[in-house]
Chain A
């Protein structure tokens, strides 16, 4: 079968907020959404450790019971939360490169072998000066045992796994820091999904 060639990717450029507005889209939760509230914060940094002030971070996650709001997640016996899409967008602050989301800690999602993955958030990172999106996962530092048995984590070289684990910074709500280093020392692991 002849496959059509993919349309090439291009940068989002510096003005993406015109089209991908992001206003309020970094808050995924409302009062009625079940689960433990968390705040995810972080900075995007370039190869010299300078903040990337024009990055777009997109978040995709399961709900607190580990179900995605998607037609292929057919596990109807797991309740979806009204008003929780599992999707969010944040633009980094121009001066500091900081982003943040308010959401809930996701539940565990099965892997193709039927085992449960560790709780994780999926991120898509784009910016001016980036010609392709980068994909990564945020794992939780208080889930050591689950992280150890996670199928995807096991595919990551051991000495780089810590780049995928957020750092706990505060309580009530739990604050997790996940800095994204695009290049060089401590470079975040990016996934070919």
Chain B
């Protein structure tokens, strides 16, 4: 019988992530576990995950300004968002699917529940895209700057402009859903979701303007790298230890 490879991943660095309960973000209060999480031995169930097969099936659809299927172009400030997906060892995470979604330029989502905000929908903008990372972990989306929008968390609450990013990575526990924010957004210090991440790590969610990415007469550019969990050591390394 062939032995499967069981890679060991470092435990999630929970101190780099938001707490489960963060009362300034009110909805967390009743949705946060209060009992201790149970730490387990990683088995094949944890060292594998849906990332590789899901990424094989997925199709690239990385231009959100034109993917509504209408033949039209989304309204808004066109941007390129690019960067790399790395693991915590600094190694690129190649061939992995990234799924993103966002509000349109007016701050409205194309979703039946987003009905209170009196901002227009854009028939040429779905707000969803996907991209598969290259050999070096690189990715590139073309989209528009999402508008900020009000939400009912507290009086006069506004979410800063953000793009939701979802990644599977190679294993079960490398799953990451995060949000990308924009450098210099005045709403960032006021946003409890952004501020739920600890002070030392929250700026890792902020994309920087990069003039090297900006394309003349076409789109301004932002650069943002993402870091997910990685294997502690390859099984081969362990054999030689």
Binding site for B on A (CB under 8 A): 1-21, 46-48, 50, 52, 54, 58, 60, 62, 68-77, 85-87, 94, 109-112, 117, 120, 122, 124, 126-135, 137, 151-152, 155-157, 160, 182-184, 187-193
Q: Kindly report which residue of chain B lies nearest to residue A87, judged by CB atoms.
A: B50
Contact A75 B1, beta carbon cutoff 8 Å: yes
Contact B57 A60, beta carbon cutoff 8 Å: no
Besides A6-B176, A8-B16, 13 more A-B contacts (Cβ < 8 Å) are: A1-B89, A5-B13, A7-B176, A7-B228, A9-B17, A12-B164, A19-B100, A72-B7, A87-B54, A129-B28, A132-B17, A155-B38, A192-B12
**Distance to closest chain A CB from B130 (angstroms):** 8
B70 within 8 A of A: no
Nearest first, the 9 closest Cβ-Cβ pairs linking A and B are A19-B101, A129-B27, A87-B50, A70-B48, A8-B197, A131-B18, A47-B30, A193-B173, A72-B5
Contact B164 A16, beta carbon cutoff 8 Å: yes
Q: Kindly report which residue of chain A lies nearest to residue B11, judged by CB atoms.
A: A192
B46 within 8 A of A: yes
Which chain A residues border B126 with CB–CB below 8 Å?
18
Task: State which of A10, A18, A94 has its C-beta within 8 Å of the C-beta of B179.
Answer: A10
Given known contacts A50-B30, A74-B2, A190-B33, A6 and B13 CB-to-CB distance under 8 angstroms = yes
Bound-complex Cα distance A94 to B86 (A):
35
A-B contact count (CB 8 A): 265
Given known contacts A4-B88, A18-B101, A19-B99, A182 and B2 CB-to-CB distance under 8 angstroms = no
Contact B178 A8, beta carbon cutoff 8 Å: yes
Chain A CB count within 10 A is highest, among B32, B33, B37, B129, for: B33
Interface segment, B73-81, B109-117, B182-190, B209-217? B109-117
Which chain A residues border B11 with CB–CB below 8 Å?
192
**Distance to closest chain A CB from B126 (angstroms):** 7
Given known contacts A18-B126, A124-B175, A187-B33, A6 and B227 CB-to-CB distance under 8 angstroms = yes
Given known contacts A60-B172, A72-B47, A193-B42, A7 and B35 CB-to-CB distance under 8 angstroms = no
Q: Mark B1-15, 1 if CB is under 8 A from A, else 0.
A: 111111100111110
